[in-house]
Amino acid sequence: MPPKSKKISLVYFVFVTLLIVGLVPLALTGWFLSERSATELRAVENRYQIQLVQAKARQIEMFGQRYGGLVGSFARALELSNDLSLLSAPQTEEKIGATLKENPYLLALHIKPINGESLSVFRAETIQKTEIETLASAALGNLGGKKLSFNQPTKLNLTGEVVLTVAAPIVIKNKISAGVVAIVSVREMARLMSEMKQTSEAQLWKEGLPIVFVVDEKGRAVFHPDPNVAAAQKFLSDLKIVQEWRESSRQIQSALVPFTAEYEGVRHEMIGAYSTADFGVDFVFGVVAMQDESKALASVGDMRRQTWLISSIFALIALLVGSVFARRLTAPLLKLVAAAKNIASGDLSNRVQTNNITEIGTLGETFNLMSDKLEEHIASLAKAAEDNRELFVGTVKALAAAIDGKDKYTRGHSERVSRISVAVGQRLGMNSEEIETLRISALLHDVGKIAVNDAILNKPTALTDEEFEIMKTHPKAGYKIMAQIPAMKNYLPGIYMHHEMVNGAGYPQGLKGAEIPMQARIISVADTFDAMTIDRPYQKGFSLEDSLNRIKSFVGTRYDGKVVEALVEACADGQIGVGTVRLKSAKPAENSSQLKAA
């Protein structure tokens, strides 16, 4: 008699089937969602770190500009007097004393003539006169032919405080007669970084907390959440992110760097960003933000653990129900298989119809609950993505407003150019994605004016040829700034090429006709239209009719005929007016907007 073949219990079959149909899709979907969340979270964290270090770098630059301006103004005032006796006069000492009182982080002001006694006003409880003389001599010795010089941070002997020296020459009767030196505490830099709580370096690394610090050109700590690190001017050049900043600080203003770091024998996978605070006189600081990647993305790990926990619970339910009602579960299992396949293919709207048997009904209801939760989770992720998009657009608008704010005569210009461009793009039949790209590019078209001196931007009269050449650098400057961010790739044509002309006489590349992207051709016309119709101190804005006639006269030389025709049609229909744009939108609040010239 042949041996009996070993039979497989239906309980095990149902268990395996339910495990495959119920657990695997859930686990795969959960894993996919957690990976997607990790990607989104990493992108948000990256943007936050870059924005953080850029903001702190700009604050530190303003710190340097303030004290550089203070020293420079003293030097210029003494030069204008053309009187060497004023260098040690009582009124000069009184003025220096008043300045010291007004600036709590200014430790000393020192005037050192080539011949004669020096004049110093200082905080005796913080710094000694001999230290002032030593620091001043070093600072003036490093001036060379420069009008302003910053020296590397130095620690004081009396208090151990780290200071920065700023020096400027005093030129009287065409020769250097003296020098002005300011000694500034870098504690003011710590105040600028005030939201960074003081924490020991060991605790920062152990807990994986965000670390934001400032280093000098040698890689020494100038500011650090651990005051002991800054006080010791600890070298942080062993960190790869600091090494990269030192190698590229003058070429790249901001960058994102994933790297591996080691602290007390423990390796950490880090994400970080750096930005350069450029004082404009061959003197820079690096602002660095970094965090342990696993801590920054801790919520993703929690999500994965929860996914496995939920999956395990459902697998246990499937095992218990299958072991008791194997036969009755066969038919519902087929339905569950079909439903699970639909979910795995992305159709989360599919639900299982339950019957009046309690256990089978419970399994079906549980499966439906799982689908509901997954659908809700995906909806919440979609909402989060939309929120991120709104945050991005809001940031772009804030940046555009900040750029326009540099020029008091063109406040609101970027927003108006953006709306005019969108209106023209709608006339030209662009799809929604192209319109959105055009809108953001137009908002940022003048971002390069960040690099243009305020005196030129706010000049109330027409620019000289030299000033105009400087102004013409802003498209290239804007391109360099935004090209560092991969997500800005689609917006670069409008930023870089909105001053190109169809006859090739534009700048910065001298492109012709179809070589100029449509995005840039539209922004060029919108930019000109807004500039013509807005009042300036040296010129009243043109009327709508005069503006359009003048723009039409440049068709074929400066501007694309189709774009100009779309602008004329929009003005004729009342969609575009002087300071007014009505856009076609599903949101009533955005259908019309009165944009007033600043």
- State the pLDDT at residue 5: 60
- Give me 183's structure tokens: 């000694």
Which strands sit side by side in the sheet containing 266-278, from one edge to the other?
Answer: 221-223, 211-215, 284-292, 266-278, 254-263
Q: CA-CA distance, 144 to 72, in Å (whole number)?
A: 16
Q: CA-CA distance, 81 to 232, in Å (whole number)?
A: 43
In which element (H, E) is residue 550 found? Answer: helix 544-552
CA distances from 312 to 15, 18, 23, 278, 305 (A): 13, 12, 7, 55, 11
Residues 6 or more apart whose CB falls under 8 angstroms from that of 515 comprise none
Helices 326-344, 358-405: crossing angle, 10 deg rounding: 20
Decide if 548 contacts 567 (C-beta within 8 A): yes
- The torsion defined by the Cα of 22, 27, 28 and 30, in degrees rounded to 10, comes to 120
Beta bridge partners of 202: none
Decide if 236 contacts 217 (C-beta within 8 A): no
Phi then psi dihedrals of residue 246, to 5 deg: -65, -35
pLDDT in tens, the chain (598 residues): 456 566 555 556 666 666 676 566 666 776 676 677 767 777 777 788 888 888 888 998 898 899 999 999 988 988 888 877 777 788 888 898 999 999 999 999 999 888 878 889 999 998 999 999 999 988 888 887 788 889 889 888 888 889 999 999 988 878 888 899 999 998 888 787 766 678 888 888 888 888 899 999 889 998 888 888 888 889 998 899 998 888 885 666 666 678 888 888 888 888 888 999 888 767 899 999 888 888 877 766 666 677 667 766 766 676 666 565 556 655 665 666 667 777 777 676 667 666 655 556 676 777 777 777 777 777 777 677 676 667 666 777 677 666 666 666 566 888 899 999 999 999 999 999 999 999 999 999 988 888 888 888 788 777 898 998 998 999 999 999 889 988 889 999 999 999 999 999 999 999 999 999 999 999 999 999 998 998 776 678 889 999 999 999 999 999 999 999 999 999 999 889 887 888 876 343 333 333 333 2
Closest CA to 60 of 232, 271, 253, 239: 253
CA distances from 30 to 140, 275, 308, 382 (A): 65, 37, 8, 15
Residue 439, SS3 per DSSP:
helix
What string of H, E and C letters represents the secondary structure of 301-355? HHHHHHHHHHHHHHHHHHHHHHHHCHHHHHHHHHHHHHHHHHHHCCCCCCCCCCC
- State the pLDDT at residue 159: 85
Decide: residue 102, CB within 10 A, 0-12 exposed, 13-18 middle, 19+ buried: exposed
- Give me 280's structure tokens: 């404009």
- State the pLDDT at residue 523: 95
- Structural domains of the chain ordered from first start: 10-44+299-384 (no CATH), 46-63+190-297 (3.30.450.20), 77-181 (3.30.450.20), 406-594 (1.10.3210.10)
Q: Can you point out the beta strands (E) in 450-586?
A: 576-577, 580-582
Beta bridge partners of 287: 214, 275
- The torsion defined by the Cα of 224, 228, 230 and 235, in degrees rounded to 10, comes to -100
Strands 221-223 and 254-263: unpaired
Decide: residue 213, CB within 10 A, 0-12 exposed, 13-18 middle, 19+ buried: buried
- State the pLDDT at residue 92: 86
Q: CA-CA distance, 296 to 44, in Å (whole number)?
A: 11
Angle at 369 between CA 363 and CA 372, to 5 degrees: 145
Q: CA-CA distance, 243 to 149, in Å (whole number)?
A: 25
Strands 162-172 and 149-150: antiparallel
- The owner of tokens 């700023």 is 166
Q: Can you point out the beta strands (E) in 3-141?
A: 106-113, 119-122
- State the pLDDT at residue 579: 79
Spell out a b/e string for 269-284, using b for 16 or more CB atoms within 10 Å of the CB, else e.
ebbbbbbbbbbeeebb
Residue 127, SS3 per DSSP:
coil
CA distances from 588 to 26, 585, 591 (A): 41, 7, 5
- The owner of tokens 């105040």 is 191
- State the pLDDT at residue 80: 85
Q: CA-CA distance, 135 to 127, in Å (whole number)?
A: 11
In which element (H, E) is residue 105 found? Answer: none
- State the pLDDT at residue 27: 65
